[in-house]
Amino acid sequence: MTKLDTPFDQLDWAIIETQLNAEGYAVLAGCIETAQALSLGHELARAGEPVYRRRVALESLDLGRGELRYFGDALPAPLSAWRDALYRRLAPIANRWSAKLGAPHRFAPHWGAFLDANLAAGQTQPQSNVSHLSAEDWQALHQRDDGGEVFPFQAVAVLSEPQRDFTGGEFVMTERRPRMQSRPMVVPLRPGDLAIVATSLRPCEGAQGVYRVGLKHAISRVRGGERIGLELAFHHAPGVDAR
């Protein structure tokens, strides 16, 4: 690829927005070259400082088993370019979601300006991370919605090959509608795919108008091998513990 954000610019974002409105997630299938995704996973699995600012055992957070490796303020290539390009495309959708929910919040058109708002609000802890899960590891249902400046989307990817590098380890989501049972969803991902998922809430059209639907996501138990996953967050978290 001659331009790192070209795959995202070439996508049909009207269709992606329709999928996000209907399901709370959209899979950008094959938007990254498979070989690039696997190579990136190989590099990130073996990286140490200064690529990662800290490593956290999921057990210590009561969020499963395995390890999260958090990036610092600067993301390595090509992740920084991906974040900027995705944010630019998602910000208008995020603003339409805010309007539907009657929220006064409006998101800046570019990620740098949004980051400035994060920092001004005291949100200084980067949340983008790589998950490293081996056999019997898993990640519990969670949301990254701490702070007043929360972007309603994040991106996730798998950077190792299902059925070859690992088994199990499906990316799953749950959706909770008012006065209804939670709806489970399995989001199929292969290297080269990137999924945009709702951070915690999405607007849903109902007979009485628009209402809020809560979402969480997780990774099911890895049955064998080693799973490398990416969670690309657009907003920072407040405090020391970026859960």
Beta-strand relationship, 123-125 and 237-238 = antiparallel
Q: Is 172 helix (H, G, I), strand (E, B) or coil?
A: strand
Q: Give CA–CA dist 74/40, Å, rounded.
A: 16
- Of 158, 141, 165, which is closest to residue 217 (Cα–Cα)? 141
Taking the mean position of all CA atoms in its chain, how far away is CA 138? 16
Please state, as a whole number, how many other Cβ atoms lie within 10 Å of the Cβ of residue 102.
10
- Of 53, 239, 78, 56, which is closest to residue 155 (Cα–Cα)? 78
Distances from the Cα of 182 to the Cαs of 56, 62, 70, 159, 210, in angstroms?
A: 29, 21, 30, 29, 18
For tokens 């957070």, the residue is 61
- Of 116, 115, 109, which is closest to residue 85 (Cα–Cα)? 109
For the chain, 243 residues long, the average pLDDT of each consecutive 10-residue run is 61 97 96 96 92 95 96 92 96 97 92 95 96 98 93 98 98 89 93 97 88 96 98 90 41
DSSP sequence for 10-43: TS-HHHHHHHHHHHSEEEETT-S-HHHHHHHHHH
Q: Give CA–CA dist 240/243, Å, rounded.
A: 9
- Is the separation of the CB atoms in 191 and 31 below 8 Å? no
pLDDT at 104: 85
pLDDT at 240: 57
Entry pTM: 0.93
Q: Give CA–CA dist 220/172, Å, rounded.
A: 7
Tokens representing 225? 């091998």
DSSP sequence for 39-64: HHHHHHHH--TTTEEEEEEGGGGTSE
- What the chain holds in terms of domains, given with CATH numbers, is 6-235 (2.60.120.620)
